[in-house]
Structure 1
Amino acid sequence: MRAGIGRAQLLLLGGIAALGSLATQIIVPALPLVAQGLVISAADGQLIITVYLVGLALGQLVGAPLADRYGRRPVILGGLTVFAAGTLACGAAGSLAVMLAGRAVQSLGAATALVTARAMATDRAPKGSAAAPLALMSSVTLISPTVAPTIGGALTSIGGWQAPFWLLLALSIAAIALAPLLGETRPGDRLPIGPARLARTYFQVVRKGRYLPLALSNALITGGMYVYLAVSPFLLRAAGASPAQAGLYYSVVASAMIAGTLAVPRVMARWPGRLGSIGAAALGSGAVLVMAVAATGGNLVALLAAMMLIAFGSGMTGPALMAQALERQRDNASAAISLFGMTQMGGAALFSTATVRLVPSPSLKLALIGVLVLLALALRRYASRGS
């Protein structure tokens, strides 16, 4: 039996995986200033998030087979290098086209590093013990959405909208320097990667059991969160909030998501079998409240309370959704994880972009957050009845 990799290496892998979400969250407080600096509309500014999410989604489908063929270490180093190059382009961008190109490159590098880091964490774990290293990785990764908005807001206030990108560049260079310490956990198998083989594998994943409705449910919840991230910066700016204040606002919501995740073991120990219903109650309550906020004028305190409920429920139910979706995917576990992540990020990009582009009223945009969450709960209920 192979021994798992060390705690320090797992923490480093968690930090590498966190770069993907950090590059999303740290930019959000700066979006109004980015739009102003590049002389673009708020809707065009949303593309800075959307393009990144699309790349993060599609990159996960490609990153896993690359790591299988060429080995973990060269692929994670390659992903980090691509991420750094894209980040440099973003920080130096003088137009929307350059910014979007940089974000696309950045996201593909982040996705490749993310899926490879997860694989490295579990390659040497004893059979049936993969949850432990992944949990330790998550303890690092979950810090990112909590501190990123606050850091991004503070950096933007001090150094302008480019400052968050320079921090991301410094972190990616540090990760590249430290990554060789990880060593190789699985040499490449050198088997050919073809579209037909990939399509066949992913088709096998989708057609099994309750995978698709559960993956779509997770995507709808994430989509609701990203609609909030797309709309709220401009609501906060209109209310007179500075980028630093906006960052604190987002950090409170992110903290609620972490609280939901950390509550999972306690809930499972104290109320076995009730995790899903408690999480659904938080999600449903938040969805109803956010629609009430939309109908009554968009009070920011009430909106914060609604999003905290949704974030708490998302943190509590997210791991359960993935676990249920992977129940019958033992033969294609890596493909199932990649496709789950792709559906999550792709759905978030689709829902947030469609909302910003097609829905004219800020109140209706907020109401759609609640609609997406309620649809997610309905899909999960359908999947549970079909089990």
Structure 2
Amino acid sequence: MSQDFASAAPAYAVNNVAAAQRPPRLRVLAVLSALMGFASISTDLYLPAMPAMAGDLHADAGSMELTVSGFLIGFSLGQLLWGPLGDRYGRRLPVVAGMLLFVIGSAGCGLSGSSTQMIFWRVVQAVGACSGVVLSRAMVRDLYEGSRAAQMLSTLITVMAVAPLLGPIVGGQVLAVAGWRAIFGLLVVVGLATLAALFTIPETLPVERRRKDSLLSVLRGYGSLLVDRRLVGFAAVGGFFFAGVYAYIAGTPFAFIEYYHVPPHLYGVLFALGIAGIMLANVVNAKLVTPYGSRRLLHFGAIGAAVCGVALLITGATGWGGLAGLAIPLFVFVSWSGLIVANSIGGALQDFPERAGAVSALVGALHYGCGILGSASVSIFADGTPLPLAAVVGVAGLGCFLSLLLLPRARG
């Protein structure tokens, strides 16, 4: 397809990894899914325990919410460090260092005696967790190219989506049986298990393809990436979408439970429907990306997000449709993740195989940075109605579509 990223792929991209060195696909899928899932399990697992944590640590709700914000900040900025390290020293060594940092941060959270300590250790935990996320994407780029890379990313995201589905349920059970500190003990075990599993797959970046320049010069290289119109376009599509998704995460508990009086135990069911939509859309993307091309599916997803955004602006302003009028376009909006996230990341990575770690880090930092802005905007403009949530998601959806204008015409 003329719109497929593979049309621009360097000839040496995937073939540099010898077939004899490539591990079994299922093993790669399992390990990379675990690495990518650290963003979700690090937060979703302890969400049910936040009230109990606040009581034990003598903290208010705002302080507990800062444990989420602190994690997002550490997760966003930490990627800018791990990406260049992965390009210079290979993928596995930085991930090992990150996993050890994640284990230390998780243990620190479990031993915290105040909300301030908890926030600090959450930042440490996030900086470690993001190493696996950013470098797993780079490992996909090492092993695959074009549509195949986007297909693999979609499969990984589908598997990874199990974490937010099961995380609150598992966390709630651990809380009931052993208390909130045991949740962070479980995260220590998960970190150590993933670290061990990492050694079952080989290094994906050969020595001859590693960058030789100093880490400082590589960090400066972010400037050159930020002026690449194609990369910025792909990053912007995903960034606006992340802003909408994190507005959804921050705003729906109030909109559904407080405004529309949805029982708290049913909120989890509504949230799970959105995750199920994400998983379904990723399965569809994995099936269609080869025959139709990543670029075409990304356009389709961005248009869908814009349509949902307009619908939310209307229902949020008028109240038309009540709960269903708000919930249905929200669920459809987050489901477009299946066509937007993998294809936008794959597109950004395509032209920079020799800098896949740095590009993955930069795109990830921009995505989560936009997510912080989206969630913060919902809080800043809160007025007791679902309108701020609908407005932020609506603007984000339109931003996804308009960001397509930054992309040059596909090369045929």
Q: Same fold (TM over 0.5)?
A: yes
Aligned residue number for residue 253 of structure 1:
274
Task: Assess, with a 3 A threshold, how the Cα gap between structure 1 residues 240 and 258 changes in structure 2: closer, same or farther.
Answer: closer
Judged with a 3 Å threshold, the aligned counterparts in structure 2 of structure 1 residues 281 and 87 are, in CA distance, closer, same or farther, namely same
Per-residue CA distance 1:319-360 (angstroms, 9 max, x = gap): 332344445445533322221111001111233124324545
Pick the aligned partner of 2:285 from 249, 255, 264.
264
Q: Over aligned residues, Cα RMSD in angstroms?
A: 3.4
The farther-off stretch of 365-374 and 308-317 is 365-374
Corresponding residue for residue 67 of structure 2: 48
Distance 1:237 1:40 in 2: 23
Question: Structure 1 pair 202/151, CA: closer, same or farther in 2 (3 Å)?
Answer: same
Q: Is the 8 A contact 1:46 1:356 kept in 2?
A: no
Alignment-derived partner of residue 305 in structure 1: 328
Do residues 9 (structure 1) and 32 (structure 2) align? no
1:338 to 361, 368, 371: 361
- Secondary structure, in 3 states, of the residue corresponding to 2:241? helix
1:50/1:353 contact within 8 Å kept: no
Q: Which runs of 5+ in 1 are unaligned?
A: none
Q: 1:283 aligns with which of 294, 305, 330?
A: 305
| 2:224 alignment partner, one of 204, 225, 250 | 204
1:1-387 alignment to 2 at 5 Å? 2-3=18-19, 4-10=22-28, 11-35=30-54, 37-123=56-142, 130=149, 134=153, 137-156=156-175, 160-186=179-205, 191=212, 193-199=214-220, 201-235=221-255, 238=258, 239=261, 241-242=263-264, 245-267=266-288, 275-276=297-298, 278-295=300-317, 296=319, 299-357=322-380, 359-384=382-407
State how many pairs are aligned.
Answer: 385
State the TM-score, normalized to the length of structure 1.
0.84
C-alpha distance in 1 between matches for 2:105 and 2:385: 32
2: CA distance, partners of 1:35 / 1:103: 15
2-structure distance, mates of 1:132, 1:232: 30
1: distance between equivalents of 2:324 and 2:168? 18
Deviations 1:133-183 (A, max 9, x none): 555544432332333344344544655544543332221122233333334
* Aligned partner of residue 210 in structure 1, secondary structure: helix
Distance 1:302 1:22, change over 3 A: farther
After superposition, the Cα gap between the structure-2 partners of 1:214 and 1:271, relative to the gap in structure 1 and judged at 3 Å, is closer
- C-alpha distance in 2, partners of 1:175/1:231? 32
* 1:92, distance to aligned residue in structure 2 (A): 2.9
**For the Cα contact (< 8 Å) 1:288–1:370, is it kept in 2?**
no
Greater mean alpha carbon deviation, residues 115-124 or residues 246-255: 115-124
Once the two structures are overlaid, the 10-residue window that deviates more, 100-109 or 329-338, is 329-338
Equivalent pair of 1:283/1:310 in contact (CA under 8 Å): yes
- What secondary structure does 2:37 align onto? helix
TM-score, structure 2 normalization:
0.79
The 1:40/1:365 distance shift into structure 2, 3 A limit, reads farther
Which protein has greater RCO, CA pairs closer than 8 Å, 6+ apart? Answer: 2
Tell me if the contact between 2:152 and 2:286 (Cα under 8 Å) persists in the aligned partners: no
Change (3 A) 1:327 1:15: closer
Deviation at 1:363, TM superposition (A): 2.6
* Alignment partners' CA distance in 2, 1:68 and 1:270: 31
